[in-house]
Amino acid sequence: MNKAYCQNCREYTEYTIEKRIIEEYKGVKVNVEEYVPRCNRCGKELFVQEIENDNLNRLYDKYRELTGIEVRWRFRKQRKNKNA
Ligand SMILES: [Zn+2]
């Protein structure tokens, strides 16, 4: 069973991974899958570094494929704060 620290519950809880599609990134249609861990107890989104890294790599690879532009690390932080 997957567990991660939930800031809302203030303890390690089990989570379920939800699949979503990122349709657009920085004005470009990317339609990339992203996986979002959600706390089974309170229903809030959790932050799991490993999953987030996979999401970002998938997104940035697609974006680079489409535009030829390499996404720099500073943009990664911006995206992470989006759901805060
Ligand atoms: Zn929770």
Report the pLDDT value the prediction gives residue 72, as an integer from 0 to 100. 73
- Give this prediction's pTM: 0.77
pLDDT band at 83 (very low <50, low <70, confident <90, very high): very low
CA of 63 to the centre of ligand 1 (A): 32
pLDDT tens profile 15-57: 999 999 999 999 999 999 999 999 999 999 999 999 999 999 9
The residue with tokens 């706390």 is: 39
Rounded CA-CA distance 78/11 in Å is 26
Rounded CA-CA distance 37/60 in Å is 20
H or E element in which residue 41 lies: none
Helix (H, G, I), strand (E, B) or coil at 71: coil
Q: Of 28, 83, 20, 82, which Cα lies nearest the Cα of 55? A: 20
Q: Is the pLDDT of residue 84 over 50?
A: no
What dotted CATH number matches 3-81? 3.10.20
CA of 69 to the centre of ligand 1 (A): 37
Q: How many residues does the chain have?
A: 84
CA of 42 to the centre of ligand 1 (A): 4
